[in-house]
A and B are shown apart, each in its own frame.
Chain A
Amino acid sequence: MLLDALLLQLGYNATLVAIGAALLGTSAGITGTFLFLRKRALVSDAVSHATLPGVCIAFLIMAFAGGDGRNLAGLLAGSAVSAGIGLWCMNWLTRNTRLAEDAAIGAVLSVFFGFGIVLLTVIQTLGVGRQAGLEGFLLGSTAGMLYSDAVVIAAGGAVTLFLVLLTRRPMTLVAFDPEYAAARGLPVDRIDMLMMGLVMAVTVVGLKIVGLILIVALLIIPAVTARFWTERSEYVVLLAGLFGGVAAYLGAALSASAPNLPTGPLIVLVSFALFALSLFLAPNRGVLAAVLRHLRFQRRVHLRQGLLALAQGQAIYESLTLRLLQRAGLVRADGVPTSSGKARAAKALRDERRWEVVRSDMDHEAAAALYDGLRDIETVLTPDQIQEIDRQIGGPREVLS
């Protein structure tokens, strides 16, 4: 069943939802990355909650005008207007009062959402314009998704992606160093507004699939996940798009594979699974890699300190050091160095002297920055450079004992 869903074999609606979700996930991941890099991720939560009054008011207007209150384009237009007002309120509060952004986010989020819920309750008691299903905007509802809905989502996603492509450089520059960007004459405020506008567009487009409460997950989790895998912002953007798209597609397929599984929440759970995997398994920034790196580093420190102690004829008291030296065949069980132990110890002491020279000389700055007390000097300097240093520190010395 799941396989069928993954291969888009579960019928028209499921296919439509899966493709729509993947498109949405990709554009949300890419757009959200800039928000994450600008450290304003939570603004998107306020923006998404601020859509609810707009949805309800748009519904009321359309219903009383005699049309179908649930026309998706109309509802999305309404949500965009109220999200825009919410965004404006937040900017006004942070700029013209002493409130910090987090307080402004809290204020806007709760007030707009509360107002939206009141309107929603009123609409349900009014009984006009086929109101059933309006609450689907809270958590997304894909059951009755139409072809036209999918087209709206695809078009919205495509426009957002195009704008991101066009403005990625100024947005990255503003995210990294807003003062420098301003000094270069970039309109920082307008670029921030554009970034928020794009986030708003993604939010509005995603209301139908994930709903306004969970869309923030789709904007932020992929970017955070991608950050584990790379140190370059352009790759973070691309990977976030990929993770977002994959998570949304998988989540949609999962929800189609069994009855009564909600699409939006499943998409969020799949993105969380990708996040958790990255958190543990990513090669450099992952937790597992960090633990392994720490253990390896600890062993190397012990070996090195042991060797230096041998070279200077000092006794070794730490049992881990002794064990490591023994296992490497550098000391015998009674703590006396073997011949290879003596050689390695002499080399370690010598390297220590060489490093001292390297670190005191600005010409070797790039090499000196790699100093961690352990690295073999041959890995950072050429034989010629080492010879030059050796000339400065004199000939090798024999290890006693």
Chain B
Amino acid sequence: MSSDEAQEAKIAQSPLAIRGLTVSYGEKPAVFSVDMTVEPGQMTAIIGPNGAGKSTLLKAALGIVAPLSGRVSVFGRSLEEQRARIAYVPQRASVDWDFPTRVIDVVLMGLYRELGLLGRVKGAHRAKARECLERVGMGEFAARQIGQLSGGQQQRVFLARALAQGADLYLLDEPFAGVDAATEKAIISVLKSLRQAGKTVVVVHHDLATVTEYFDNVFLINTRRIAEGPVVEAFTEESLQAAYGGRLATSQIDKLAKA
């Protein structure tokens, strides 16, 4: 098998394969010619310094922002064909939490495809939404207005909405940003249960200290791809130094790479 064919086979198997992706806001590329191949059934962290294009990479992969170039394949097919298999959890700060809606209504948005334009919300839909809320430990919050939630609870509601979709690939944008320890634990245990069920999870992550504990693979980015692979191989001092430049003290890196 030639190397090209091997490449194609890898892309066909990968839940999310990105080739030559460039995204630019104005004239300054946020993501430049990035290749990424997500391993099926594993948890991958996208890490890199602030402004390195982590979230942009995810948004471009989902078509939320238009890339300048590059192609994205999802389980070997085009993004449009595979939309139903992807669940996206945006940053919780991206929405207005004073919007007039209840917790359960947000989760029901995850069932948008099943409900269609005019379908009535039936008991079965509500039961499914409640079950997803239970999974993130928010069952008792179903009838509350979303404005009453704490940051961690908001994040878990977003996760419940993604769970309701019943997808195969989960993409989360900074789910641990500004949440309490209890929420972090709840979210990571849900993500691990997803992996156990054979799903693929990709997380934009900012906390280097927990990378080895939580994830199987890392993808280091600083506008360009720095390193990619299993945590033991790719989460090294050289790659961290390359991604963060002078922004991490050497002692910090030593601790992380050994952890």
Cα distance A230–B102 when bound, in Å? 11
Q: How many A-B residue pairs have CB under 8 A?
A: 80
Which residues of chain B come closer than 8 Å to A169, judged between CB atoms?
112, 115, 117
Most chain B CB atoms below 10 A, which of A167, A236, A365: A365
Which residues of chain A come closer than 8 Å to B117, judged between CB atoms?
166-167, 169-170
- Are B153 and A369 neighbours in the complex by a CB distance under 8 Å? yes
Q: Decide yes or no: A173 and B100 within 8 Å by CB, A183-B86, A366-B141, A369-B148 being known contacts.
A: no
Please, which residue of chain B has its CB at the minimum distance from the CB of A33?
Answer: B100
Most chain B CB atoms below 10 A, which of A39, A227, A231, A233: A231
Cα distance A348–B61 when bound, in Å? 55
Seen from chain B, the residues whose Cβ lies within 8 Å of a Cβ on chain A are 59, 62-64, 80, 83, 86, 88, 90, 94-96, 99-102, 105-106, 109, 112-113, 115, 117-118, 137, 139-141, 145, 147-150, 153, 161, 171, 182
Asked if A182 is at the interface (CB within 8 A of a chain B CB), the reply is: yes
- Are A365 and B182 neighbours in the complex by a CB distance under 8 Å? yes
Cα distance A235–B100 when bound, in Å? 9
- Are B137 and A166 neighbours in the complex by a CB distance under 8 Å? no
Residue from A177, A233, A235 in contact with B95 in the complex, judged by beta carbons closer than 8 Å: A177
Cα distance A366–B156 when bound, in Å? 13
- The list of the 8 closest CB pairs from A to B, nearest first, reads A366-B140, A183-B88, A185-B83, A182-B64, A231-B145, A183-B62, A179-B90, A233-B100
Please, which residue of chain A has its CB at the minimum distance from the CB of B99?
Answer: A176
- Are A166 and B118 neighbours in the complex by a CB distance under 8 Å? yes
A-side interface size class: 20 to 34
- Are A173 and B109 neighbours in the complex by a CB distance under 8 Å? yes
* B210 CB, nearest partner CB in chain A, Å: 19
What 0/1 pattern do residues 336 to 369 of A give for CB contact below 8 A with B? 0000000000000000000000000010011001
Most chain B CB atoms below 10 A, which of A165, A169, A179, A362: A179
Cα distance A39–B99 when bound, in Å? 10
- Are A180 and B182 neighbours in the complex by a CB distance under 8 Å? no
Q: Decide yes or no: A369 and B150 within 8 Å by CB, A166-B117, A176-B101, A231-B102 being known contacts.
A: yes
Q: Offer 27 A-B interface pairs, CB within 8 angstroms, sorted by A.
A: A37-B100, A165-B118, A169-B115, A169-B117, A173-B109, A175-B99, A176-B96, A176-B106, A177-B95, A179-B64, A179-B94, A180-B90, A183-B63, A184-B83, A184-B88, A184-B113, A185-B63, A227-B100, A231-B100, A232-B100, A232-B101, A232-B102, A233-B100, A362-B182, A365-B137, A366-B140, A369-B150
Please, which residue of chain B has its CB at the minimum distance from the CB of A362?
Answer: B182
* B31 CB, nearest partner CB in chain A, Å: 17
Cα distance A182–B79 when bound, in Å? 12
- Are A180 and B145 neighbours in the complex by a CB distance under 8 Å? no
Please, which residue of chain A has its CB at the minimum distance from the CB of B115?
Answer: A169
Please, which residue of chain B has its CB at the minimum distance from the CB of A98?
Answer: B26
Please, which residue of chain B has its CB at the minimum distance from the CB of A177?
Answer: B95
Most chain A CB atoms below 10 A, which of B88, B113, B139, B149: B88
Which residues of chain A come closer than 8 Å to B101, judged between CB atoms?
176, 231-233
Cα distance A179–B158 when bound, in Å? 12
Which residues of chain B come closer than 8 Å to A173, judged between CB atoms?
109, 112
Cα distance A362–B94 when bound, in Å? 27
* B11 CB, nearest partner CB in chain A, Å: 21
- Are A232 and B105 neighbours in the complex by a CB distance under 8 Å? yes
Most chain A CB atoms below 10 A, which of B99, B153, B171, B182: B99
- Are B150 and A180 neighbours in the complex by a CB distance under 8 Å? no
Cα distance A209–B243 when bound, in Å? 63
Cα distance A185–B130 when bound, in Å? 25
* B202 CB, nearest partner CB in chain A, Å: 13
Which residues of chain A come closer than 8 Å to B113, judged between CB atoms?
184
What 0/1 pattern do residues 201 to 241 of A give for CB contact below 8 A with B? 00000000000000000000000000100111101100000
Please, which residue of chain A has its CB at the minimum distance from the CB of B102?
Answer: A232
Q: Decide yes or no: A176 and B95 within 8 Å by CB, A231-B100, A231-B102, A365-B137 being known contacts.
A: yes
Cα distance A183–B113 when bound, in Å? 13
- Are A236 and B109 neighbours in the complex by a CB distance under 8 Å? no
What 0/1 pattern do residues 152 to 171 of A give for CB contact below 8 A with B? 00000000000001110110
Cα distance A233–B153 when bound, in Å? 21
Cα distance A230–B115 when bound, in Å? 24
* B159 CB, nearest partner CB in chain A, Å: 12
